[in-house]
Amino acid sequence: MDDLQLNIQIGKKVKPKSFTAKNAENAGEYKFVPKPQFAGKTIARKRPQHLVGKNIKLDAPQSKVPKLSVPDKNSTSLDKRLQDLSENKGKYQGKDYQDLNDELQVKQKSKSGTWISSLFKNNPEVPKIGQRAVKPLVEKVFAGKTFTDLNIHPHSVANLQQNLGLKELMTVQQKAIPVILQGRDVLIRSQTGSGKTLAYALPVIEGLQAIRPKINRHDGIRTVVVVPTRELAVQTYELFVKLVKPFTWLVPGLLSGGQKRKAEKARLRKGLNILIGTPGRINDHLRHTQSLNFAKTGCLILDEADRLLDMGYEKDVAAIVKAIEDHKKASTYNPLALMKQNMKQNTDDISEPQVPSEQETESDIKHKLTEVFLSKERQTILLSATLTKAVENLAGITMADPVFVDTSEGRAVVADSLKDKNVVNNKMLEKIKEENKPKPENSPVEESEINHNKTCDEKKVDKRKGLVEFSGQNHRDLFDIKAESTPMANNTEDSDSDSDYEYFKVQKQLESKKPAIVEVKVEDKEEPATDNKESIFHKAVKSAIVEDELVLPASVNQTFLIVPMKLRLVTLCSLIIEHCVLNKKGGKMIVFMATLEMVDYHSELIESVLTGDKVKVKKKNGQGKKAVGTKRKADDDNNESDSNSSDSDYKVDYNNQEEGGLVPVDLEMFSLHGSMPHEQRMEVFKQFRAARNGVLICTDVAARGLDVPRVDLVLQYCAPASATDYVHRVGRTGRAAQVGAAVMFLLPSEAEFVRHLEQKRIRLRQSDESKVLEPLRSVAPTAANAARAAIAVQSKLEYTAHSSKEWLARASRAYTSWVRFYSGYPREVRQWLDAKQLHLGHAAKAFALRDTPAVLARRVKNLPNMKEKPTNRLTVHIDEEKKRPGFPRMKIGGYGSNVTKKQCSMHTASEYDSGLPPLEQVQKQKKRKNK
């Protein structure tokens, strides 16, 4: 790339000053210091502020440091202070100095109006890392069957067709719904966007509607659905509302937090049958709302189970499980009910209208699940596209004789814990009895689906409920099929070509070695009970976790783009323009960033620069925000008071492109993160769902479960904290077999992260970066080439970021939060996402900043609101824990380990706060050190 230097004038025409590129560039270099400390310490050789943009020989003696330009005739007291500041820098330390320095920044830039960019200098080379022949795991999305094939109420089928437009069953629905209707505990793993929500919601409605006499809203909470985020709770609640349309007596309800507790209490008092909520809020009501009672809860569903556990919600989840058990136990001891039961046994006359007669049970109750709802039992369903050890452990604690449903091809498995040999031996009598019984008409799985050699011994009996066992395909690893049976990333050779042809050639070779679906023979060996403690369920889950192979929809085209640090921001602008502006069909994209500060800053900056609208800079705690729930729009009228008075002189005339202005584009920007006020968060979510096109910039709070229609591009601006996070982010596109694209930005130093993903059988292609800036020419038509257009855009970004103290503060805060986030990547990925490899000066450029890292850190440190503690905590704190009698800590899996603790805090940091440790903690640590 050419070494480009361009003087761009903004607002005023100023004669370009002589500028020695070499000097200026070298002056802009910062010496690298391995461990960045962002506590205001100087971590890099600082370039004196007053040298910026001036033709100064840096090797001149220090005593001859040139002064600021001599104040003009209209010199103000501020000018004098600035001059004093530059001459006597040493005597100003701390906040005051920083204040003056910021004023200097803003004022200097307004005066000169000239911007010098070195975007294309000293960038590291972009490595071409090629693509390895990875055979991705795939899942068949649709099962080729219809809802009428399920044994469910015809009104439900009609409702699905007419109101939801759904006819064909998805694979996970076809496999899981019959098992759930049997009342079995189920763990479901299926790829993103594969219809898991309907897979559990539909049978739950089916089980509840069949209860006779019909239940009503006062009849208690029969089902509890726990999800990790508010948006997902709303989305799930909306699906339930649609599904209960034919069964008006069933009432779903939502407890998602952020709303007034009083209103939620009233809703609970009014009564509901299906409760959907976030764990924190449900627990809050368990503590404070008497009317919340789980005595009649027959079904507990934990959606995104792995996320619920790694977000630090594990205690809340454990408390909900405990509360259900306690409430059910408490209700069991009912002397009146016991007396009634005794009376019933002693008399033939069954006069109790609430309990269905034997005859009724036989004829009306089609599904075991309805019986579960009528009994004291509890069914538990865990779901996720990805599994972790913690989920396995939770399954061990909360489930009885569970079934594991995994829908990925080649290992499609329905592993039933009751397939255990010793269970069969112990239940031989029952088995014979069951085998002699005629098979139910609507057997959950048809013979044709079972892809292994079924023997008589496999037709097992449900230990708990005496049902004919659900059969399915075997998991290859359960039967000692070694890893080489399927091609893995590890075993594959490098393929330099990234063409699909090359890829498929290698694939074909690999495929020819082994069949796609492994046929497995089950040996009929009798094993002593002691040697066979682990059930098939546990073996299958364990092997799925150990393999740690991830599945993504095959309809998503996954690529990565290696972008040098300084070019990241302009490249992002370019992709947004290409996808949402130049794309005639209109595109809808989601951009994932690491921290909420980044989300706020980038969405406002990009909107301001590309649309030409002045975005009012938000202050903390919602001050200065636009009307709640509205997409940010130009608000020039209200903007005067917020911007620095000197800005008004330097308004860019967008119509006069000779002045270096950009052509404004029509673009809808949305932003979403966990610290937004509830109403705003919900409104943004709803508006983005309804929008035909636009950009949503968000944290990982939007990575799980969200089902936004027509999202055709997911861009990971910051690398994910794990391969699992990668999967869920990408999963926001290509849902329900729709076509989608996913791009991940990587720094040259991060390129090998792709290999880590390939190990998990994720296949990505490297995008060609040479043309990526081309779309910027549409907003800077006077630029001679794409690189010059990029410089024009970068200049405008920098100009905006330095146009007021508020902008500067926000930019610096975003930058600092990102650096902190970066140094907190979990150990497992740190070898590829290594903070030591960062060039912090270049990173500042990616935030449209021109200061040295030390200045940025000092500015952030001195911001008054940085002393506030993060408000949107997710975890239950020890004090709150103590206040919760009857909810003892439940230890789940390896959650005591340091690694997972680090991960938890990391995830929380990424979504809900700046990643800064709470200040109290830091102060305590300091005090300890001083002692």
Ligand X SMILES: Nc1ncnc2c1ncn2[C@@H]1O[C@H](COP(=O)(O)OP(=O)(O)OP(=O)(O)O)[C@@H](O)[C@H]1O
Applying CB under 6 A, the residues found at the interface with ligand X are 166, 168-170, 173, 190, 192-198, 385, 705, 707, 731, 735-736
Closest distance to ligand X from the beta carbon of 735 (Å)? 5
β-pair partners for 669: 695
Q: Which two tokens stand for residue 783?
A: 């630029």
| Angle (CA) 157 159 164, round 5° | 110
Task: Count Cβ atoms below 10 Å from residue 926 Cβ, excluding itself.
Answer: 10
* Beta carbon nearer to ligand X, 733 or 749: 733
Closest distance to ligand X from the beta carbon of 707 (Å)? 4
Contact 253, 276 (CB under 8 A): yes
β-pair partners for 405: 188, 414
Closest distance to ligand X from the beta carbon of 139 (Å)? 10
* Beta carbon nearer to ligand X, 50 or 196: 196
First to last CA, the chain: 56
Closest distance to ligand X from the beta carbon of 583 (Å)? 22
* Beta carbon nearer to ligand X, 198 or 573: 198
Task: Name, in order, each residue with C-beta under 8 angstroms of 355's C-beta and a sequence gap of 6 or more.
Answer: none
Closest distance to ligand X from the beta carbon of 690 (Å)? 14
Closest distance to ligand X from the beta carbon of 386 (Å)? 9
In the chain, what's the furthest Cα-to-Cα distance? 110
Distance CA(724)–CA(228), nearest Å, equals: 16
Distance CA(641)–CA(315), nearest Å, equals: 47
* Beta carbon nearer to ligand X, 199 or 489: 199
What beta strand segments (E) does 503-587 contain? 556-562
* Beta carbon nearer to ligand X, 142 or 249: 142
Q: Which two tokens stand for residue 460?
A: 């097992």
* Beta carbon nearer to ligand X, 150 or 790: 150
* Beta carbon nearer to ligand X, 169 or 838: 169
Closest distance to ligand X from the beta carbon of 56 (Å)? 55
* Beta carbon nearer to ligand X, 243 or 814: 243
* Beta carbon nearer to ligand X, 311 or 569: 311
* Beta carbon nearer to ligand X, 207 or 731: 731
CA dihedral (175, 179, 180, 181) positive or negative:
positive
Closest distance to ligand X from the beta carbon of 142 (Å)? 7
Residue whose pair of structure tokens reads 């998805």 in the numeric block: 170
Q: Which two tokens stand for residue 754?
A: 């792709």
Which one-letter DSSP state was computed for residue 139?
Answer: B
Is the bond into 515 cis (omega within 30 degrees of 0)? no
Q: Which two tokens stand for residue 560?
A: 């990565």
* Beta carbon nearer to ligand X, 153 or 217: 153
Contact 222, 298 (CB under 8 A): yes
Closest distance to ligand X from the beta carbon of 396 (Å)? 23
Closest distance to ligand X from the beta carbon of 734 (Å)? 10
Q: Which two tokens stand for residue 483?
A: 């890893």
* Kind of pairing between the strands at 494-495 and 131-132: antiparallel
Closest distance to ligand X from the beta carbon of 415 (Å)? 19
For residue 575, what are the CA distances in angstroms to 33, 591, 713, 716?
Answer: 33, 10, 10, 12
Task: Count Cβ atoms below 10 Å from residue 117 Cβ, excluding itself.
Answer: 24
The three-state secondary structure class of 836 is helix
Q: Long-range contacts made by residues 789-792, C-beta under 8 angstroms, separation at least 24? A: 790/119, 790/567, 790/570, 790/574, 791/4, 791/6, 791/8, 791/117, 791/119, 791/120, 792/6, 792/8, 792/660, 792/662
Distance CA(866)–CA(878), nearest Å, equals: 24
Closest distance to ligand X from the beta carbon of 825 (Å)? 24
Residue spans of alpha helices (H) in 514-566:
536-547
* Beta carbon nearer to ligand X, 195 or 257: 195
* Beta carbon nearer to ligand X, 173 or 471: 173
* Beta carbon nearer to ligand X, 98 or 190: 190
Q: Which helix (H) or strand (E) holds 89?
A: none
Phi, psi of 43 (to 5 degrees): -110, 0
- b vs e for 121-143, b when ≥16 Cβ sit within 10 Å of the residue's Cβ? bebeebeebebbbbbbbbbbbeb
Residue spans of alpha helices (H) in 427-483:
428-436
Residue whose pair of structure tokens reads 């932003």 in the numeric block: 671
Closest distance to ligand X from the beta carbon of 736 (Å)? 3
* Beta carbon nearer to ligand X, 40 or 731: 731
Closest distance to ligand X from the beta carbon of 600 (Å)? 25
